[in-house]
Chains A and B, each alone.
Chain A
Amino acid sequence: MSTSDDNQTPPPDGPPSETPGKAPARHAPPGSAPAPGGAAEKRAKTPSTESAKTTPKPAAKASGGSPEVAYTLSYSPHVRRRVSVRSIMVEVLIALLPATLVGLYQFGAYGLWIIALCVGGCMAVEAACQKLMRQKITVDDGSAAVTGLLLALSMPPRAEWWLCLVGALVAIGLGKQVFGGLGYNPFNPAMLARVALLISFPAQMTHFVTPSRWGLDAVTTATPLNQLQEARIRGLGLGEAAHTDLGAAFWGGIPGSLGETSVVAVLVGGLYLLYRGHIRWDTPAAMLGTVALVSGLFWWHDPTRYMPPQFHLATGGLMLVAFFIATDMVTSPLTPKGRLIFGVGCGLLTIVIRMWGGYAEAVSFAILLMNSAVPIIDRYTAPRLYGARRGRGAGTDGGPRP
């Protein structure tokens, strides 16, 4: 199931989706001599099986001389909602604009270079993979661009050019195309790339600078989460992280990845996607709610050892991930119940890794771990089937009936 050429094949039943068809010659106008009925009647008796096995060729060219107008034949429905994969991706890009602009303002024009490398790199890798596999090139659907922008926004603001390109290669090559392309990747490609880079190039991936006007006064620094982790490992309590300016974190002003520093900018984009109906409230609400609740409980228990929930919500790209990564359609569960479980899981893992893990950057690991749980979540959270006896939802009873 790796070639998307297979995916492009119209389903075998009936004509390809829109087939201009003309009345074949055998359809004599009524009133003419009776046609021998045998063969045609046989077909009429087993209509669906028959039409399922034969793919009628478009007859338009065959009966060229016919004066009749050619109508389009297709299966129902004959109207559709004006939404496509491409239009969804374009709206996600629009929704990422506020976070992108704040990032560029705070870290300077170099950010543009990172974005260009990541977005261009992802699109190029996608096209190259598809070319190599002799598939139809579908870079125009915009999904590679979204992956590229999300990758760029989660890169350190001074990331080297090769780091971006390696990220693009991993994201699209290993994260998406090896699984069969769009729709078949189990892991969010941008997060997979980010984690791969973090493990492979820890120094470069944790090189952060202070935000400043157009990035002119940038000096090397650590993110609040890095500071917190350092202090924890050295047994210094909360360390410098205790002095994090949470107002700055909300409006944008703490060190971090290119697009994750301003909570408000991410929120604006996230609310836009919610309003447009491209993401559902359940995943971000569950993830953010879990983080707030669990971190709040620890903080309430011992404020000298744990940071308050608002700190956890505002740092480490949690907002960006909750609204743009955890809501990734391909790698999150199918039903509201499933998405709640997924969101809660992401939130729990984030807190666990932040408080006891070896990496300060917890959300990307949390997402990947929960991504791997999606098939099993889907299996147990199928919607209730209309008219089913209790507990027999779609997809929950094991396998085909005898």
Chain B
Amino acid sequence: MIERFRSFFGGIHPAYRKELSATLPSEVLPLPEQVVLPLLQHIGMPAEAVVSVGDLVRTGQMIGRAAGRVSAPVHATLSGTVTAIATLPHPSGREVRSVVIRSDGLDQWLPLSGHDDPHQVPVDTVRQMVQEAGLAGLGGASFPTHVKLDPPVGKAVRTLIVNGVECEPYLTADHRLMLEEPRRVVDGARLVARVLGVERVLFGIEDNKPDAIQALAAAIQAVGGARGFGVPVSVGELPTKYPQGGEKQLITVLTGLEVPSGGLPIDVGVVVHNVGTCAAVFDAVRFGKPLVERIVTVTGEGLHRPGNARVRLGTPARVLVEHFGGTVGRVGKVVFGGPMMGAAQFSLEVPVIKGTSGILVIPHDAIDSGDIRPCIRCSACIEVCPIGLLPNMISVCTEVRAFAESERYHPFDCIECGCCSYVCPSYRPLVQMIRFAKTEVQASRSAQTKH
């Protein structure tokens, strides 16, 4: 059942530092005094608020309605009073319309209705329940889950990949979930597999988490293995290398298929779901429970006592940091997500959202910032690029604003994993320069279509 796989092309081996929190069970955080719930916690259209200031809400009550298909509803994550609906800081660095709820301290839930045997629930009902639960990928990209459960007509999904790789350094949230509740993950994956009608299910986990591999394999045995899934299922033990958990890398390593340039995994008959998303799918169908909490790793050398926590969405980072003993010394950066792809924050008031897998506190001394120097063509970025790009060439084009020229180097294939910036001896922010090239090319394209 456990299969060993080869690695992908490129990639890096940063200091993983997962030992800071990997062995620490997730703690249930006391209810915060108030939560800030952005109406945009997913990719797509922001949800539309259906409550007003002064309304009393209960835990699990929908406060934002999905605005269209590629959108997701938002639910109250504790009971209390809506005190504000305002545009507030969001982990992405932007400001997003958010609902602020002050807790009444009682955590009174809306009555939930689920199904005792979720595996008998018709697939359309599963999709609907997942949509109503407000699920968006918990791995970080936060694409609305119900859309991924409903592939376009004519596109057959042959393989479901469950992503438990967690290749970002420092993060251990998925690791803890797989250890603590492997059965939830597996049962969720069974549901997803059935809804998609796949021919096989593959779990992918890096070999730096042998205990999680064993835990999942045991849980799969417990549900009867292939019999429980109805299709062949196996756990892939993958070499530890960043970005092994990138969708494209994971698909290629596990199946040998390559997602076409500019295409989606579904084009090669694959859909990838994160382990946390699978667990949430199970909750949504079994209990009718909306997505109101998740596991977050709170870690970093700048934190007094790193750990993992089960947190209500909307909890400000400050509450988490204080729960884990506060910061040590001078804080350099506070990052939402991992150190490779996470977003630096300017304030601890920013809330945990559906895609927040970790909060990383980096000490001031650990920030290695140098002058940006010219590219010396050392080709380190080319060696580590898992896509086969020439990041340095795109960056040079960006530097002289030759965006049309930069298109020759395929900026839109970049997955923004950050390997190139990580290795650059000239301190060039290569990923950022590629993002900039994408933005400018897109702007000029849309300007052209308007004329």
Contact = CB atoms under 8 A, between A and B. Distances in A.
Interface residues of B, number: 107
A184 B376 CA distance: 8
A129 to B, nearest CB: 15
A30 B382 contact: no
B367 interface: yes
A368 to B, nearest CB: 17
Contacts of A21: 346
Interface in B373-395: 373-380, 382, 385-390, 392-393, 395
Contact of A78 (B262, B339, B364): B339
Nearest to B99: A30
Contacts of A394: 388-390, 409-410, 413
B313 interface: no
Interface in B42-72: 53
Nearest to A182: B374
B120 interface: no
A30 B96 contact: no
Contacts of B404: 399-400
Contact of B259 (A37, A68, A81, A387): A387
A378 B377 CA distance: 11
Nearest to B415: A386
A7 B380 CA distance: 19
B347 A79 contact: no
A55 to B, nearest CB: 12
B92 interface: yes
Interface string B390-413: 101101001110001101111001
Taking residues whose C-beta sits less than 8 angstroms from the other chain, chain A's interface range is: 35 or more
A82 B349 contact: no
A385 B344 contact: no
Q: A76, A81, A398 — which one has the most chain B CB atoms within 10 A of its CB? A: A76
Contacts of B102: 31
A395 B40 CA distance: 37
Contacts of A31: 34, 83-84, 100, 102
Nearest to B362: A78
Contacts of A88: 378, 425
A72 B333 contact: yes
A402 to B, nearest CB: 10
A8 B439 contact: no
Contacts of B405: 399-400
B387 to A, nearest CB: 4
A32 interface: yes
Interface string A65-86: 0001101111111111111110
Nearest to A183: B374
A79 B15 contact: yes
A43 interface: yes
Contacts of B93: 51, 73
A383 B398 contact: no
B390 A382 contact: yes
Contacts of A397: 408
Interface in B90-130: 90, 92-98, 100, 102
A68 to B, nearest CB: 7
Interface string B252-292: 10000011111100000000000000000000000000000
B408 A400 contact: yes
B2 interface: no
A79 B169 contact: yes
A44 interface: yes
A232 to B, nearest CB: 38
Given A44-B94, A49-B443, A399 B89 contact: no
Interface stretch (A10-18, A157-165, A218-226, A318-326): A10-18
A102 to B, nearest CB: 28
A7 B374 CA distance: 6
A75 B432 contact: yes
Contacts of A75: 344, 429, 431-432, 435
A73 B410 CA distance: 28
B335 A44 contact: no
Interface stretch (B147-155, B204-212, B416-424): B416-424
B392 A334 contact: yes
Contacts of B88: 27-28, 30, 35
B235 to A, nearest CB: 25
A4 interface: yes
A43 B94 CA distance: 8
Contacts of B435: 13, 48, 75
Given A11-B398, A44-B96, A75-B431, A399 B408 contact: yes
B408 A80 contact: no
Interface in A181-221: 181-184
A75 to B, nearest CB: 4
A17 B369 CA distance: 8
Given A23-B347, A387-B263, A77 B431 contact: yes
Given A13-B436, A27-B89, A87-B425, A82 B374 contact: no
Interface in A16-66: 17-18, 21-23, 27-35, 37, 40-41, 43-44, 47-49, 51-52
Given A76-B431, A78-B333, A34 B413 contact: no
B248 interface: yes
Given A47-B94, A84-B427, A394-B388, A76 B418 contact: yes
A334 B377 contact: yes
Q: Which of B88, B346, B347, B436 has the most CB of A within 10 A?
A: B346
B193 to A, nearest CB: 25
Contact of A182 (B89, B373, B438): B373
A292 to B, nearest CB: 26
B342 interface: yes
B439 to A, nearest CB: 5
Contact of B379 (A71, A329, A392): A329
A227 interface: no
A243 interface: no
B407 A400 contact: yes
Nearest to B404: A400
A301 interface: no
A1 interface: yes
A85 B426 contact: yes
B425 A85 contact: yes
B390 A30 contact: no
A334 B34 contact: no
Contact of B373 (A43, A69, A141, A386): A141
13 contacts: A13-B432, A31-B84, A35-B86, A37-B87, A48-B438, A77-B421, A80-B423, A84-B370, A85-B426, A182-B376, A183-B376, A385-B413, A400-B404
Given A71-B344, A75-B344, 5 more contacts: A48-B438, A76-B343, A80-B422, A385-B387, A400-B405
Pairs A-B, 10 closest by C-beta atoms: A77-B418, A183-B374, A13-B436, A383-B388, A400-B407, A18-B369, A34-B86, A387-B261, A75-B432, A7-B374
Interface of B: 9, 12, 14-15, 34, 36, 40, 53, 83-90, 92-98, 100, 102, 169, 248, 252, 258-263, 316, 331-335, 339-347, 349, 360, 362, 364, 367-380, 382, 385-390, 392-393, 395, 398-400, 404-405, 407-410, 413, 416, 418, 421-427, 429, 431-433, 435-436, 438-440, 442-443
